[in-house]
Structure 1
Amino acid sequence: MPNYEKAMRPEDITRLFVERSNAGDAAGVAELYAEDAVLAYPPGATTVGRDAIRELWAKVLADRPRFEPEQPLPTLVNGDVALTSTPPRDGAGARAQVVRRQPDGSWLRILDRPEFVTPGATA
């Protein structure tokens, strides 16, 4: 397995996600998630665990979508847990992730809601 760059700040995960997704690297994307992570995707469903997340991203990335970096909103940190988020380009709703500091000081996603969440809408 490749020696992937680790996210040493919660904000690094978004950058690494974009880089790995645009490279078509589903395994690299999955390495940004904890073993027991929960991903609110596909729409209306959840994907649980790093292996399932890797399989899902392999299917998504097979179509070679292009991801653009998004300017992150300020990160909220409480000890070893942090909330990261980015607004979509149209400014409606936000993407949100909860990340946890690992024993080596790096950060991994434990909860991820990548879809736009619009106020008043149900997800």
Structure 2
Amino acid sequence: MSGHDKVEREKAMRPEDLTRLFVERSNAGDAAGVAALYEEDAVLAYPPGKQTVGRAAIQALWEKVLADRPHFEQETPLPTLISGDIALTSTEPKDGVGARAQVVRRQPDGSWLRVLDQPEFVSRAE
């Protein structure tokens, strides 16, 4: 596949689109498509207790996650907070992990990408 055959993927033109595209691409087994939702130097707080830094590392991690063909459910976005070119998106998780939140940034073309992704907040009552 040459560089001319670059997959033309839908861009997130609203911050909330990122959550929908993340689920659609994960369920399609498209790790590269998931990674494309993140800025080059993005930080993903996953696996639990660790951080995955950078689009390439996120893609490699997601290839492992998607190897088991997990199914992701769409979750209702909570209200987005926007300040200029930065926004905070979040959803109420269906799996009861507390909350999911992402900081996203508007790109020069008007689309949005994730900069920080905290997929699970769990209060650990020991």
Same fold (TM over 0.5): yes
Residue number among 12, 18, 36 corresponding to 1:13 in the alignment = 18
Structure 1: tracts of 5 or more residues without a match: none
The structure number with the bigger radius of gyration is: 2
Asked if 1:69 corresponds to 2:78, the answer is no
Asked if 1:32 corresponds to 2:32, the answer is no
**Matched residues in 2 for 1:92 and 1:44: separation?**
14
Matched residue, 2:3: none
The percent of aligned pairs where both chains have the same amino acid is: 76
- Scaled by the length of structure 1, the TM-score of the pair is 0.93
Partner of 1:28: helix, strand, or coil?
A: helix
Matched residue, 2:86: 81
Q: CA deviation at 1:91?
A: 5.4
Question: How many aligned positions are there?
Answer: 120
Q: What is the letter of the counterpart of residue 52 of structure 1?
A: A
**Matched residues in 1 for 2:13 and 2:84: separation?**
14
**Matched residues in 2 for 1:90 and 1:110: separation?**
23
Alignment of 1:30-69 (within 5 A): 30-69=35-74
Q: CA deviation at 1:88?
A: 1.3
